[in-house]
Amino acid sequence: MFLSINKKTSEVVDHTKINLLVKLQHLDNLIENIVSLQKGLPEEIAALDEDLAFTRRQIESRKKIADDNQKLRQKLHETINECREKIKGFKEKQALARNNKEYDALSKQIEYEEKEIAHAEIQLQDIAHADQRVQEIQQKGRQLIAENRYDEISEEMMPDDVLHQQLEDLQKQVDMKKEELESIVIETAGDVNELRKQIDGQRELIQKEAKRLLDKYDHLRSGTMQNAVVKLNRNACSGCNTRVPTNRHTMIVQGGFYLCESCGRIVVHERLFEEAGK
Ligand SMILES: [Zn+2]
């Protein structure tokens, strides 16, 4: 066993404990390397999925408007036909009217139905105008696309067919990336499982031998930091590049560790990582 005195605290430092932790960091680094083989694919897939959902929502909301308009149009045409039927009936009765009072009463009913027809026709025109506006806005979008002025295109300017094409393209991209990721995951599953087992074993060992160091390690890695234990590089912490005080170099060279005053990482001599890798 390798012992040295930490001058600041006059505490006896057990170097085998730090070796156990460096080994754990080494194993965690190996897993990290395998995960990095996924080349940011999970993040890319998440972003594409988001775009896909957004495009799908746009298409669905357009479809809903189109469906609603279609239903309304149909209903208005039915109303117009019914009114015309009624008018036809009233006119037949008018021809048989026995007096002016009866005739006028039927005229009023005809007038009412004619107003209903006019009202329905105005609504039909409103729908047609709205449709036309949508087409004009999309035409503007088509023009901007042709001129490569993509940043000027608003959501509603995106032509229907381009939107559908976009959905199709995004779906293809997502499927491709997912397939790629899956094959990487399958290829590396064996190595990852083996490393996970080794990591579990190593953690159990440190839990018994150096629980405080393991807690420190886990605390450091609880955020986004992956490398809690780092090498001394050109007399600096390689995690954050802050210089390590000269009076700590000897201890590090002897196989001890130093807690970086700037980032809190555990700094050790690179030799310890070489040994952990054997
Ligand atoms: Zn540091």
Cα 220 to averaged position of ligand 1 atoms, centre (Å): 11
In the chain, which residues have pLDDT < 50?
1-12
pLDDT at 247: 92
Can you read off the two tokens belonging to residue 111? Answer: 């007038």
Residues with CB under 5 A from ligand 1 (ion): 237, 239-240, 242, 260, 262-263, 265
Residue type, 113: E
pLDDT at 35: 84
pLDDT at 7: 44
pLDDT at 25: 97
pLDDT at 192: 93
Cα 56 to averaged position of ligand 1 atoms, centre (Å): 46
Task: Give the residue among 241, 210, 265, 198 at the shortest CA–CA distance from 19.
Answer: 210
The ranges assigned to domains in the chain are: 3-36+196-277, 42-158
pLDDT at 71: 97
Cα–Cα distance between 162 and 213 in angstroms, integer? 57
pLDDT at 14: 59
From residue 94, alpha-carbon distances to 82, 104, 109, 209 in Å are: 18, 9, 11, 108
Cα 248 to averaged position of ligand 1 atoms, centre (Å): 14
Cα–Cα distance between 66 and 12 in angstroms, integer? 78
Label the pairing between strands 11-14 and 258-259.
Answer: unpaired
Q: What is the pLDDT of residues 103-153, one digit of tens each?
A: 999 999 999 999 999 999 999 999 999 999 999 999 999 999 999 999 999
**What b/e sequence results for 200-227 when a residue is b if at least 16 CB atoms lie within 10 Å of its CB, and e otherwise?**
eebbeebeeebeebbebbeebeeeeeeb
pLDDT at 5: 46
Cα 30 to averaged position of ligand 1 atoms, centre (Å): 21
Beta strands in 11-68 (DSSP E): 11-14
How many C-alpha atoms does 41 have within 13 Å on its Cβ side?
Answer: 19
Length of the chain, please?
Answer: 278
